[in-house]
Amino acid sequence: MLLEKNDYEHAANKTDMITGHIKELRGVLKYNEPMADHTSWRAGGSADHYFEPADLEDLITYLKSVPADKQLLWVGLGSNLLVRDGGFRGSVIALNRAFNNLEINTSGQIKVDAGVPCAKVARCSAREGYTGAEFLAGIPGTMGGALAMNAGAFGGETWNIVTRVRTLSRSGMTNIRLPADFNIGYRSVQIPGDEWFISAELQLQKDHEKIVGQRIRDLLEKRSATQPTGLPSCGSVFRNPTGDYAARLIDACGLKGKRIGNASISEKHANFIINHGNATASDIERLISFAQQSVQEQFGVELIPEVRIVGESKD
């Protein structure tokens, strides 16, 4: 096990939370880890513990070391996450380093770990001449997050191509589950029990490599033309309400460019909030609430965030 940063002097005082198996860990365990370093918004407070497992066995060992009453937060690239400035009083588990296996067979079946970036799935599928995953090129997260929220872009949705998944329970048990085991909706998935996704199997159809590749290039060009890529954001902040678009409603309220602190609603796409540098999580959360309130007052529509907001506010 490796301890990093400012953590050696604090480790002895933190074992009230991580017990029993700590000496057996082979991954990287950090204490008081700034989550701004692990979220695409580049904002927010610190997590009590941040663990990067070496493999599945190491992850199970870690789960057994965390008391049942302590919160767990699973992350990939942190693209759909806002950690409040007061930090997260629990354990963050990061899967993007160890859970990164991707295999494609000759029948278009993909086996992919939860930590693999969605864009990589799209690229590899195209290179092998399989279609159906092109939309994943527009999702700035990992497959674990895409599974958890049924992420979508450009008309495609994650669970439309999923044939089965593997989950891990807090007690360390793995299960193979089918889509029918979940209540899947627009940007939502109800997961049974205390389980998390660790891998999935996808089914794609054969197509020509150049055609699939061109589709991805076209989608990315459209994304670049309409979205503020290259700037710290979480992607789309709100789900689209039925029959409408969150961006249109926010824009109609005149909120493009609205700024609180160092965060603003994008001038390019009103469903994006940008960190212009040193924005606090509070700046961002206040903008989210302001947009919700404005749309509710003007149109009577409740905007539901896609982004997950966790942790404690800073006093």
| pLDDT tens, residue by residue, 82-108 | 999 999 999 999 998 899 999 999 999
Per residue in 4-55, pLDDT (tens digit) is 333 333 333 344 455 555 668 999 999 999 999 999 999 999 999 999 999 9
Strand pairing category for 88-94 and 71-75: parallel
Q: How far is CA 178 from CA 66, 93, 118, 190, 200, in A?
A: 28, 24, 20, 13, 10
User: Residue 313: which residues within 8 A CB-CB, separation 6 or more?
Assistant: 84, 85, 86, 282
Q: Is 225's pLDDT higher than 50?
A: yes
- Do 80 and 118 meet the contact criterion of CB atoms below 8 Å apart? no
236 among known catalytic residues: yes
Mean pLDDT over residues 288-295, rounded? 98
306 among known catalytic residues: yes
Mean pLDDT computed over every residue of the chain:
92
Rounded Cα–Cα distance for residues 49 and 125 (Å): 35
Mean pLDDT over residues 137-149, rounded? 95
Q: Is 168's pLDDT higher than 60?
A: yes
Rounded Cα–Cα distance for residues 140 and 147 (Å): 13
Dihedral sign, CA of 289, 301, 249, 218? positive
Dihedral sign, CA of 25, 27, 29, 35? negative
Catalytic residue among 134, 195, 285, 306: 306
What is the model's pLDDT at position 20? Answer: 52
User: Residue 163: which residues within 8 A CB-CB, separation 6 or more?
Assistant: 109, 178, 179, 201, 202, 203
Task: Domains for the chain: give ranges and CATH numbers.
Answer: 2-94 (3.30.43.10), 102-225 (3.30.465.10), 229-310 (3.90.78.10)
What is the model's pLDDT at position 22? Answer: 66
- Do 96 and 142 meet the contact criterion of CB atoms below 8 Å apart? yes
Catalytic residue among 46, 65, 236, 264: 236
127 among known catalytic residues: no
Q: What band does 194 get if pLDDT is binned at 50, 70 and 90?
A: confident
Catalytic residue among 42, 123, 187, 215: 187
- Do 163 and 198 meet the contact criterion of CB atoms below 8 Å apart? no
**What tokens were used for 206?**
């054969």
Query: Residue 175's Cα: distance from chain center in Å?
Result: 22
